[in-house]
């Protein structure tokens, strides 16, 4: 999927400038999206950039896939009421996280800076290193695979 995504992106870049997530986070997008809109940005097609993009997107898609399996298994193992609770939690967590992080950063700026430095380090933003992010994603995959295994291991096949 990541290879097909790269091929489609490179073909699309013939007609319109379209940076990938890798280009935006780790590539040569120095001044942000302003360079894309002004026409000054040129996507790098070097071997290392393409290889790093494929590895980054593969690990990102793998995390998304495993998260989907874990959520699916939680739904499968739950009754109607727990399914509603899980649905509400999955849909409210992003908004709640944004509100919580804003309030938390106002109340604890020092701790917020330490957390941001840690997140920058594990996701490879400072210093710019895509392999730190890939490693973080692979660790997440292993942890979530363990959770999925525990949920699948004693799952009972439901009859209709």
**Could you tell me the residue ranges of all domains in the chain?**
2-153
Structure tokens at 61: 């898609």
Q: pTM here?
A: 0.82
- Which 3 state secondary structure label does DSSP give 20? coil
Cα–Cα dist 27/43, whole Å: 8
Q: What percent of the chain has pLDDT over 90?
A: 39
> Running DSSP on this structure, what letter comes out for residue 157?
P
Whether 134 shows a pLDDT value over 70: the answer reads yes
Strands (E), the chain: none
State mean pLDDT over 137-156.
91
Band of pLDDT at residue 96, cut at 50, 70 and 90 = confident
More confident: 34 or 103: 103
State mean pLDDT over 115-138.
91
Q: Residue 41, Cβ neighbours under 10 Å: how many?
A: 20
Tell me what pLDDT residue 36 has: 64
Q: What is the pLDDT of residues 53-68, one digit of tens each?
A: 999 999 999 999 999 9
């Amino acid at each position: 999927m990541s290879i097909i995504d790269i091929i489609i992106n490179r073909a699309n870049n013939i007609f319109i400038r379209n940076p990938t997530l890798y280009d935006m986070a780790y590539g040569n997008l120095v001044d942000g999206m302003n360079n894309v809109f002004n026409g000054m940005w040129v996507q790098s097609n070097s071997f290392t950039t393409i290889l790093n993009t494929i590895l980054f997107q593969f690990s990102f898609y793998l995390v998304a896939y495993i998260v989907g399996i874990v959520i699916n298994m939680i739904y499968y193992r739950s009754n109607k009421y727990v399914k509603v609770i899980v649905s509400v939690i999955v849909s409210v967590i992003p908004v709640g996280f944004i509100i919580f992080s804003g309030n938390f950063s106002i109340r604890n700026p020092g701790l917020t800076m330490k957390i941001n430095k840690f997140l920058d380090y594990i996701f490879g933003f400072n210093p710019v290193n895509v392999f730190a992010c890939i490693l973080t994603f692979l660790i997440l995959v292993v942890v979530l695979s363990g959770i999925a295994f525990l949920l699948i291991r004693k799952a009972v096949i439901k009859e209709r």
